[in-house]
Amino acid sequence: MRKISLTRQLIAGVLLAELLCAASFSGLALAHEMHGRRRAFDVMLRGRADSVLGAVQDAEDPEDNVAVDPTELVLPNQDAYEVLSPSGRVLGHSPASSPDLLAALGASAKPGYFSFKVKEAYYRALRLNGVRIIDRDDNGGIRRPVTVLYAAPTHDLWHEAVEAVQFYVVAGVVLLAITGLALVWFLRRRLSPLQELAAIAGRVSARSWEFVPPGDVLRTSELAPIALSIEGLLKGLRQAFERQRQLTGDAAHELKTSIAVLKSSLQLLTLSPRTAGQYEAGLAGLLTDTERMEDLATRMLALARLEEAPVESNESSDLPSILRNVAERLRPLANLKQVALEVTADATRKVALPADDAEVLCSNLIMNALQHSLPQGRVSATVQSHNGATELRVKDEGEGIPEAALPHVFDRFYRADRSRSRNSGGAGLGLSICKAIADRSNGAIRIQSALDQGTEVTVTLPEN
């Protein structure tokens, strides 16, 4: 693909405009000059015609005619004149003029100025009707009307006009060249922030996220929005990459730690000979470790599955009945922890969730609430309709979540207090799974918490 250069386009555009400007200016100047010179030429024609008229004299012949005496006239050689009597008879003409020229001159019948062309030469001419008074005396003399035709070539007129305008044309071209060069320099200089921006943006890669737009770019009103949006975009991308890397790292950490526990437990058992009782205790511990690892793997896979595939549109489940079942299953655990588990979900409400997802959602939320409850506490789970959607609320009266930790509770592997959560068995995936389930069915999940008062998780699901 051919690249389009802004600089070149701008320079070409400005130079073209300047050229048009200079050309029209020169044209106008030429037209103005021509107009002035033509008027002067006409005045000159008139003057010369008058002097021809003045040269009309009595011919001293029997018919009492008049004639032109060329000896009295000092006129340019290339000019032509003809003097006609009212009857059309030629009284005299310029001696050096060719017959063609005289014929063309005599062709005009109207008085006034006119132009014609003879043998590639242009002429301007005047037909002047005048009266010549001969033998002037006290009675006034004899009035002899004559017509004077006078023509002069105009090629000098054109040359003179062009010469006069030439200065402007040359000056225009010189100015054009100077401004063109100045423009190139200026544009290069002013467009350097654009090149800097391109260079800096070009250095950005998945390994190097450094993008600091220079001051020049930020001070340019056209470039600042581009630079800022690139900066924002890169920041977002970088955070996404960081999150992904963090996530992979965390997953690896969890898995490796689980394996380390398992391996060290086994190696400890084989370090020295043990009694049957020690082996039994060791094996029981190993079984617990394996179950925890299994749970971690199951949850990680569940999360991967939830985030990968979109929900089938026709799948739906009855949330209240699932919640009641899950609560009944978890009641022994609640009793063990001396926590009252209350469920308010009577009506049938279909939600756009596969049944097993709905079950995971309910059990994760209730398990979480139970784990964070203190003895004699209370956990309540309710399903109700709210603004055309179904709301599942699970509330505990536990120790709550610190405000700083709230935005992260849905992050995978996040634990507000890692040591305690680890001992209670979670890998920090429960709420991430709940969020993935809610997101997958176009629902929403939010959490409210106050320290030492408790936590409430609300899941809003579209009704089916």
Residues that bind another protein (CB under 8 A): 249, 252-253, 256-257, 259-265, 267-268, 271-272, 285, 289, 415, 417-419, 422-423
Q: Considering only CA atoms, which of 168, 136, 235 is closest in space to residue 30? A: 168
188: part of which helix (H) or strand (E)?
helix 155-190
Of the pair 70, 282, the CB lying nearest another protein is at 282
CB of 203 to another protein, least distance (A): 21
What's the closest the beta carbon of residue 281 comes to another protein, in angstroms?
12
Shortest separation between residue 417's beta carbon and another protein, angstroms: 6
Q: How far is the CB of 303 from another protein (least distance, A)?
A: 19
For 115, the token pair is 């132009």
Q: Give the residue from 279, 219, 201, 247 showing the smallest Cα distance to 429.
A: 247
Q: Which is nearer to another protein, 78 or 257 (CB)?
A: 257
**Smaller CB separation from another protein, 13 or 249:** 249
Residue 299: count of CB within 10 angstroms of its CB:
21
> Of 24 and 248, which has the nearer Cβ to another protein?
248
Nearer to another protein, 35 or 418 (CB): 418
Q: How far is the CB of 254 from another protein (least distance, A)?
A: 8
Compute the least distance from the CB of residue 267 to another protein, in Å: 4
Structure tokens, 298: 């199951």
Return the number of the residue (297 or 311) whose C-beta is nearest another protein.
Answer: 297
Tokens 């059990």 correspond to what residue?
363
> Which residues are paired to 305 by β-bridges?
none
Residue from 379, 346, 352, 347 nearest 456 by CA:
379
Closest distance to another protein from the beta carbon of 207 (Å): 13
Q: In 10 A of CB 52, how many CB atoms?
A: 28
| Residue 377 vs 428, nearer CB to another protein | 428
Strand pairing report for 317-318 and 389-396: unpaired
CB of 454 to another protein, least distance (A): 22
Name the minimum Å distance from CB 286 to another protein.
10
Going from the C-alpha of 191 to that of each of 50, 181, 187, 204, 308, the distances in angstroms are: 68, 15, 6, 21, 46
* Minimum CB distance to another protein smaller for 289 or for 318: 289
CB 278 to another protein: min, Å: 11
d(CA 137, CA 150): 29
- Supply the minimum distance, in Å, between the C-beta of residue 433 and another protein: 22
Q: CB atoms < 10 A from the CB of 302, how many?
A: 19
Q: Which is nearer to another protein, 291 or 346 (CB)?
A: 291
Q: Rounded to a whole number, what is the distance in angstroms from the first to the last CA of the chain? A: 52
Q: Which two tokens stand for residue 443?
A: 């629902």
Q: Please tell me what DSSP assigns to residue 63.
A: T
CA–CA distance, 382 with 397 (Å, rounded to integer): 15
Q: Where do we find the tokens 């200065």?
A: 167
DSSP-assigned states of every residue in 254-302: HHHHHHHHHHHHHHHHHHS---HHHHHHHHHHHHHHHHHHHHHHHHHHH
Tokens of residue 355, six digits: 């049944």
Closer to another protein by CB, 12 or 252: give it: 252
Q: Token digits for 213?
A: 């737009």
Give, as one character, the DSSP assignment of residue 311: P
Q: CB-wise, 139 or 272, nearer to another protein?
A: 272
Contacts of 132 (CB under 8 A, 6+ apart): 53, 56, 66, 143, 144, 145, 146
